Amino acid sequence: MPDLPMLPVRVTVKAVVEETPSVRTFYFEPAIPSSPGQFVMVWVPGVDEVPMALSSATSITVQQVGDATTAMFLLRPGDSLGIRGPLGNGFTVSGKTLAIGGGVGAAPLLHLAVEGQVSTFLLGARTADELLFAPVINASSNLKIATDDGTAGHHGVVTDLMDEIDLEAYDHICVCGPEIMMLKVLERLQKAGVADRGQFSLHRYMKCGIGVCGSCATDPHGLRVCRDGPVFTGADLLESEFGRYARDATGSKVVFPWAKKAEE
């Protein structure tokens, strides 16, 4: 593995596109060549440095959820960011590939679709207004849509669409979205006997982004999301903390609400 970048590279924001009320894509230069599914550490000067997936070599697609992303939403063309990366391991695909994306999780999968590596793309969101990149994805793959409120496509969750397809017909199944969604995908893959074909992009709290600090290490094997992931196979995740809990900035376990209900 080549030496990992330790200092952020200054990039200039060239355009800001409002994808939904809470999601924007920031286009920048120079480009950050990467493989689909890799991520970067984005330094917002004076605020924080946070991990973000690349939606292309010249863009990151961001949901406003905290201090750093709120500060980013104030940026305009000509402003600067610092970027370290690309980091981690992305998706590895060949043959026939199924992509399943929920919400802003569609961003790292977009990279795959645009490169013509996705045969079928299942895209989910809460409402039609929150669907990301549907026209672009539809131009390069067989797109199927689900919305929670039924305002576009299937009325229901994106995992419902898995019932309409033969999972065994796909060599790879690439997934990114809320962890509860990905957990439901993994359960269906396991039931179909193809969990090992799944590739899941995990989100965990990160500090260094290069595998040194251990803040994103997962139980029980200590796999680091930043260095060993962020993309893991379904087989890797079956016996892990995935879908049950994560850790906060102090290292304390935070049990997911759905996991608490399952235990009650």
Type and span of the H or E element at 50: strand 48-56
Residue 174 counted as an annotated binding residue: no
**What are the CA-CA distances from residue 157 to residues 69, 75, 144, 192, 231 (Å)?**
26, 33, 12, 19, 22
Contact between 206 and 51 under an 8 Å Cβ cutoff? The reply is yes
Residue 176 counted as an annotated binding residue: no
- Residue 246 CA to residue 47 CA, distance in Å, equals 24
Sequence-distant (6+) residues with CB within 8 A of 110 are 55, 56, 61, 132, 133, 136, 137
CA atoms within 13 A on the CB side of 192: 21
The DSSP bridge partners found for residue 40 are: 52
- Residue 109 in 3-state DSSP? helix
- Residue 228 CA to residue 218 CA, distance in Å, equals 10
- Residue 177 CA to residue 163 CA, distance in Å, equals 19
List residues forming the annotated binding site. 208, 213, 216, 226
List residues forming the annotated binding site for [2Fe-2S] cluster. 208, 213, 216, 226
